[in-house]
Structure 1
Amino acid sequence: MSMKRINLGSEGLQVPVQGLGCMGMTTIAGGDIYGKANEEESIATIHRALELGIDFLDTADLYGPLLNERLVAKAIKGNREKYTIATKFGYEVDDNEQLTWGFNGTPAYVQKAIDRSLKNLDTDYIDLYYLHRVDPNTPIEETVGAMAELVKSGKVKYIGLSEVSAETIKRAHKVHPITAVQSEYSLFEREAETSGVLDTLKELGIGFVAYSPLGRGFISGDIKSPDDFAADDFRRSIPRFQGDNFYKNITLLKEIELIAAEKGVTPSQLALAWVLAQGVLAIPGTKRIKYIEENAAATNITLSTAEKEKLESIVPAGATAGGRYDDTQMQFVDA
């Protein structure tokens, strides 16, 4: 099936308008992110994504750690050239394959991380290589300088950054052209607009990749109360999904559900259509065929100016109750 394709940034990378976030397909440090995952079903989802024209896969060495890249390798075996693979580094993984929960953006670690990811993904190049989080102890210029060397050596085609400020983007881009910046972005999370990040990207010709475009699954409407999350579900730690915040956000969601019903689409499809209408690449995560099909169908939904404005009036930037991470995790976001 053909899916509309766009240029991600201005360095030559072409991608479908929607990619697939693979994080939920494996645990992180032994804990489930969004409930239990099944490897067979996850691989089948990656295969179905390709049939639907979704050939952009987003993974990271953090996920697992390392297990997610290995799962992606299994899924794409024999078809590497048909996929665009994005992976990330920066959360330090030691030689015993354990997360230290520190950050490492030193040139030596950049080399170590890329070689490990190439091995895990069973490939000799990465299409898009991101710095997952900025190492506060290493100047961004040093990290990006080392990433530029990977482009020169052919191990990486394009480089990106994740969860960075407008100022960091400008500094990094002077060292080597940045193709894409990834951040959380959805109807419920608009910080990329208010922080000046989207304006900076437009000015510099850098692409934007929206992760969690469905508000970490919240917009699907499947979660009715904070108790619906499994005991080890990562979302239990997020202020947005706790106590009164949860119920305030449910009220906003109910209004979105009414518009979706009027339009004859699911709330998830409506929310995805809104993100795509911003001209960015959305990478909703799923590990089930049912949802990859539903998400792919959202690429055919057109929103009128009035519908966009109505959605934005229901959830204006900053209207969501509670933070998108807890205080500890927010310290890792380069604001």
Structure 2
Amino acid sequence: MVKLAGKEVGEIGYGLMGLTWRANPPSQEQSFKAMRAAIAHGANAWNGGELYGSPERNSLHLLNEYFTKYPEDADKVVLSIKGGIIPGQMVPDGSEKNVRRSIDECLKVLDGKKVLDLFECARLDPKTPLETTIGTIAEYVKAGKIGGISLSEVNAQSIRRASKVHKISAVEVEFSLWATDILENGIAQTCAELDIPIIAYSPLGRGFLTGQIKSFDDIPDTAFIKHLPRFQPDVFDENLKLVKEVEQLAVKKGCTPAQIALAWVRAHSGRGGLPIIIPIPGATTEDRINENMTKVTLSKDDMAAIDEILKRTTIVGGRYNDAAMAFCDL
């Protein structure tokens, strides 16, 4: 049994970012179909953000609309929301004042339609002591206004520091076949020691591991990933080698590359001294949800083959640019 914030969740969750944070978001009808499909498949660990869109239209607004139409789903979903930034900017502000503003705004927009099970600051604020930020969120937990505290893109030391202030219910970090850092930098080990589940965002490498992106030109000009180092023309073909190897394995297994990628993440969950790991692939269509939720089991031989692929494949470029990466190791 997999639990998050004391509530049972599926082995695979659902990332809501793409439903509101893109140049041309999907329609409400399309979004609702995807969200309902996630529920139907048991993908009830939902992850959204105050920053996923504008202050006027983000995950919280869509969630309000969804739970207004489907109030029966509210108790089924375990909801985690990222906030703690300056409104309308991608700048962290972990001060007591802004954290209170952020949580209060999230609760206001949800309007009682759904409990806020977890709240996390999208990034730590280097100008504010972590203890101040976590302590402020903890006041809302103790008051019963939110269910628990999660952390996002922090290092192992910060996880330990935060845990001394208040129980940490989850740590959200990037983890996939082309972002294996947490297995070597102490994050996974620390979470295992402290019995903290990991929420693995971008388990499909921001769509790269699906095999749908064959060239730099396949990426829409409005897409966020077009500006990330790993997708640039000078390294694209080198990084595509991993995808091609995964595609070959998928053919042998009779499944899709995305299903291989998700199976690999799930295979690490709770095994070999690792913590529970819940991948949260994002999807904007019902069909993609159905694909992601079709679970494939990797054998020992499959895992060994993937280990060999990873050993001989070098991923070139950072997960974000240098300025953004500086906020991922606080």
TM-score by length of 2: 0.92
8 Å Cα contact 2:7-2:78 kept in structure 1? no
| 73-82 or 113-122, which deviates more | 73-82
Match for 1:161: what amino acid?
L
| Residue equivalent to 1:20 | 14
Match for 2:48: what amino acid?
T
| Residue equivalent to 1:253 | 243
Q: Distance in 1 between matches of 2:66 and 2:286?
A: 14
Match for 1:289: what amino acid?
E
SS of the residue 2:91 aligns to: strand
Q: Distance in 2 between matches of 1:62 and 1:162?
A: 13
Q: Distance in 1 between matches of 2:236 and 2:110?
A: 38
Deviation at 1:317, TM superposition (A): 9.8
Match for 1:275: what amino acid?
V
8 Å Cα contact 1:191-1:318 kept in structure 2? no
Q: Aligned runs of 1:254-273 on 2, under 5 Å?
A: 254-273=244-263
Deviation at 1:38, TM superposition (A): 2.7
Q: Distance in 1 between matches of 2:200 and 2:221?
A: 27
Q: Distance in 2 between matches of 1:100 and 1:241?
A: 24
Matched, 1:213 2:208: no
Matched, 1:153 2:175: no
Q: Aligned runs of 1:49-60 on 2, under 5 Å?
A: 49-60=38-49
Matched, 1:81 2:81: no
Deviation at 1:13, TM superposition (A): 3.5
Q: Distance in 2 between matches of 1:269 and 1:221?
A: 11
Matched, 1:276 2:285: no
1:100-143 Cα distance to aligned partner (Å, 9 max, x none) = 33211112222211111012223263111112100111111111
Match for 2:319: what amino acid?
R
SS of the residue 2:79 aligns to: strand
Deviation at 1:252, TM superposition (A): 1.6
8 Å Cα contact 1:191-1:317 kept in structure 2? no
Deviation at 1:316, TM superposition (A): 3.7
Deviation at 1:177, TM superposition (A): 0.8
Q: Distance in 2 between matches of 1:188 and 1:135?
A: 27
* Structure 1 pair 315–244 and aligned structure 2 pair: CA distance change class (3 A): farther
2:97 counterpart (108, 114, 135): 108
| Residue equivalent to 2:186 | 196
SS of the residue 1:159 aligns to: strand
| Residue equivalent to 2:327 | 332
Equivalent residue pairs, number: 317
Calculate percent identity across the aligned residue pairs. 39
| Residue equivalent to 1:304 | 299
Deviation at 1:309, TM superposition (A): 1.8
Deviation at 1:65, TM superposition (A): 2.5
| Residue equivalent to 2:272 | none
| Residue equivalent to 2:59 | 68
Q: Distance in 2 between matches of 1:248 and 1:282?
A: 25
8 Å Cα contact 1:214-1:220 kept in structure 2? yes
Matched, 1:290 2:287: yes
SS of the residue 1:81 aligns to: coil
Unaligned 5+ segments in structure 2 are: 270-276
SS of the residue 1:245 aligns to: helix
| Residue equivalent to 1:170 | 160
| Residue equivalent to 2:116 | 126
8 Å Cα contact 2:168-2:196 kept in structure 1? yes
| 263-272 or 237-246, which deviates more | 237-246
Match for 1:18: what amino acid?
I
| Residue equivalent to 1:96 | none
Aligned-CA RMSD value? 1.6
| Residue equivalent to 1:7 | 3
8 Å Cα contact 2:250-2:257 kept in structure 1? yes
* Structure 1 pair 224–198 and aligned structure 2 pair: CA distance change class (3 A): same
Q: Distance in 1 between matches of 2:107 and 2:205?
A: 30
Q: Distance in 2 between matches of 1:312 and 1:107?
A: 44
